[in-house]
Structure 1
Amino acid sequence: MKYLHIGPNSRIYIDCIKFIKESFDEKEHKFLYPKEKGKSLIENIFFIIKFTIYGLKAQKIFIHGLFNKKMIIFLYIFRNFLKKSYWIIWGGDLYSYNDRKGNSYFYNIEDYVKGNMKGYITHIKGDYELAKDFFFTEGKFYYSFFYPSNLYKKINLKRIEKNELWIQIGNSADPSNNHLEILEKLSKFKNMDIKLFCILSYGGNEEYNKKVIDKGIEIFNDKFHPILDFMKFDEYMKFLSSLDIAIFAHNRQQGFGNITSLLSMKKSVYIKETVTTYKTLKDMGIQIKSFDKFIDLEIFDNNILENNRKIIEKNFSEKKLKEQLKTIFES
């Protein structure tokens, strides 16, 4: 074993494990899950023992999303592990810095751990720059989109004949989607032939969902369609392929897999210019609509959409991902 991976029990991490096992020598990789809330003390101790044993053996330790407080404290106590640890930045684990309130000794621990990694892995260069600003890190930046969820999606589905513009707003029920802000901005188009699909199937809470649904129905009546049931992957891809426009109002990097999937399918995507994703996509040559300068509901012409698709296909191919991971593992 050369490489130890630590990540949450989530689909993104599990799909990544499968991809690595299929693409590289499985014997060189070990995958662990930190214990979540509610686990017994014995289970947590057992995990720490396993982490310590495999961590000592590993040449590199890859931390997939650094959210877990117990993990952060563990790395602070056993800080020698940081010398060979690589933080794969997910977004919320970085931007949680902006949600800090008051003074906390834990923040000092978190600053030390997140600031002293050997390497930082992300496909968003701006997120690495923020990590340097927040935690004064000097660790090396490695570019990689790392997860199969970001791969180019080749979807060949028949175009649905419809008279309205089909628009997705947000990608989850998490309040960070700022659904109400989107609804207010779209309110001037309420008399147009549009159909709004609001994703509220995971994250968030019932109170927030009710507020969004009530506002959506108040403004758009039967043109507003909340999606409350979780879709399987193939079903969700089919749904995305039926859209014309997707609008995201996140204030931080989020929903990148959704965005790349939509661009793969030649959809017009709106995001805020202040989000690090905006610059990343622009630097690739992709044309994105600005949520901040929202004047009219517009769809890019087919030439632009096709060029966007080609750029996504080139930059987010399986071949590219394997090359990126190989460089990270072997450098």
Structure 2
Amino acid sequence: MSIENLVFLPDSPYTEWIIKRSENLFPGLNKYLVIVDDITKPTRFTNSDIAIIESKNLIKAPVLLDLSSFKRVIVNYHTPFIGHFLMGRKQDLSQAKLIWIIWSGDLYKHPSFLTKAYTSTTLAALPPEKTVQAWKQSFHHRVLQAIGKPNKYTFEKSFSNFDFVASIFEKDVEEAESVLGVKAKWIKFAFLSLQEMFSEEYLKNRPVLGRKIMVGHSGSPENNHLDVYHKIHHLLPENEVTIFSPLSYGNPTFISAVKSLGREYFGDNFETLEDFIPREKYYQKLAEASVAIFNHKIQQAFGNILGLIFMGVKVFLNPENPIYIELTNSKIKVFDYNQMTRDDLLNPLSPEDVENNRSTISLLFKEEQIRDYYRDLYIA
């Protein structure tokens, strides 16, 4: 049996789950690669069947000298090094279909999303871009391009080579087309089942939710916390509810601005979580909220959002967010952040809405559905 699929994977805890699903459906047909910057550092997976290649050696890696047998190249999280490989070995892969599975960061870290992802308030809190530094970086990448090394220009061009793009969010595919020039067919795809994302029974049987309002999931500027704090302060001027924001990672300058405004507006009723904690403890913390607000304009924090909805939390999303669009189209009860009122913040989700949300999520991410997604991907 010959190997048909070349599968690029990131160094992620999800890598082995993806391989297990792929092998259950198409055993022995896949070669798995993880590209790392430093091969001497430990990885977040233990599967010995995965070939680990340093990024600087990818284009000439011995295991990739002969590409003629591959019918598909499946890219989980597209990077400049993979883009350089795809462009440099384009002729060798002429018989293969190229499939890009969007992981959010590989789409939304593109500079063109700066104004799309951040509000003006967020941009004002970030360090100003230094024109000279930006010019130097641009010149550096032109030099890299001239000498045949991985660079941002070749990377951007590589997006147009994909034949298929996989995501559960149709708007992600539309954004990839408008910003990156991707002219590919859409394959609807989700990585994990409900059981893999979180324990269904554990979240369903959480004790009565608390009354805190959760804002954002990290210290990344894409959360646009500051606008949310302004809005809550206006709607609840008496500070009668505790505001809670996880800030365990992100932009240090932005995190400082978030904490400063949070303390100014909410005083002792402002809480942060700045340490990484085990998943069960994390969900225990999330259960202290009855309302959660995510002001992302782009797709982020999908697992957090689904877990909160499943627990019965009332979730507000920016209507530009692909997650808002997908969930509302699926008849899951989430709320438009732009239409948020005082009563919305003070009144929890109804028991009927909680139960409907749970049953709909269970259907959308049931085991059989995820298996079908993987099957569609590997027969594209």
TM over 0.5: yes
CA positional deviation for 1:214: 1.9
Aligned match of 2:85:
74
Aligned match of 1:157:
205
Aligned match of 2:7:
5
Instruction: Note if 1:239 corresponds to 2:282.
Output: no
Name which of structure 1's ranges 317-326 and 72-81 shifts more when overlaid on structure 2: 72-81
Identify if the C-alpha distance between structure 1 residues 190 and 319 changes in structure 2 by more than 3 Å, giving closer, same or farther.
farther
CA positional deviation for 1:292: 1.4
Aligned match of 1:294:
340
Distance in 2 (CA, whole Å) between partners of 1:230 and 1:4 is 34
CA positional deviation for 1:234: 2.4
Show the 5 A alignment for 1:13-24.
13-21=15-23, 23-24=24-25
Name which of structure 1's ranges 106-115 and 268-277 shifts more when overlaid on structure 2: 106-115
Aligned partner letter, 2:77: G
CA RMSD after TM alignment:
2.8
Aligned match of 1:28:
29
Distance in 1 (CA, whole Å) between partners of 2:63 and 2:296 is 35
Aligned match of 1:197:
244
CA positional deviation for 1:6: 1.2
Secondary structure at the counterpart of residue 333 of structure 2: coil
Aligned partner letter, 2:76: H
Instruction: Note if 1:135 corresponds to 2:180.
Output: yes
Give CA-to-partner distance per residue, 1:217-252, whole Å, 9 cap, x none: 111112111101102222223333442111111121
Identify if the C-alpha distance between structure 1 residues 161 and 52 changes in structure 2 by more than 3 Å, giving closer, same or farther.
closer
Distance in 2 (CA, whole Å) between partners of 1:75 and 1:310 is 42
Secondary structure at the counterpart of residue 33 of structure 1: strand
Aligned partner letter, 2:371: K
Does structure 2 retain, via aligned residues, the 8 Å contact 1:123–1:145?
Answer: yes
Secondary structure at the counterpart of residue 287 of structure 1: coil
Show the 5 A alignment for 1:221-232.
221-232=267-278
The unaligned stretches of length 5 or more in structure 1 are none
Name which of structure 1's ranges 181-190 and 95-104 shifts more when overlaid on structure 2: 95-104
Aligned partner letter, 2:205: L
Distance in 1 (CA, whole Å) between partners of 2:278 and 2:67 is 35
The unaligned stretches of length 5 or more in structure 2 are 42-52, 115-133, 143-150
Does structure 2 retain, via aligned residues, the 8 Å contact 1:15–1:148?
Answer: no
Q: Rg: which structure is higher?
A: 2
Aligned match of 1:144:
189
Name which of structure 1's ranges 285-294 and 77-86 shifts more when overlaid on structure 2: 77-86
Does structure 1 retain, via aligned residues, the 8 Å contact 2:299–2:322?
Answer: yes
Distance in 2 (CA, whole Å) between partners of 1:128 and 1:303 is 33
Aligned match of 2:106:
93
Distance in 2 (CA, whole Å) between partners of 1:37 and 1:181 is 39
Does structure 2 retain, via aligned residues, the 8 Å contact 1:153–1:264?
Answer: no
Instruction: Note if 1:125 corresponds to 2:173.
Output: no
CA positional deviation for 1:128: 0.9
Count of aligned positions: 325
CA positional deviation for 1:193: 3.3
Distance in 2 (CA, whole Å) between partners of 1:72 and 1:39 is 23
Give CA-to-partner distance per residue, 1:275-325, whole Å, 9 cap, x none: 222211111111211111222214331212211111111001222111110
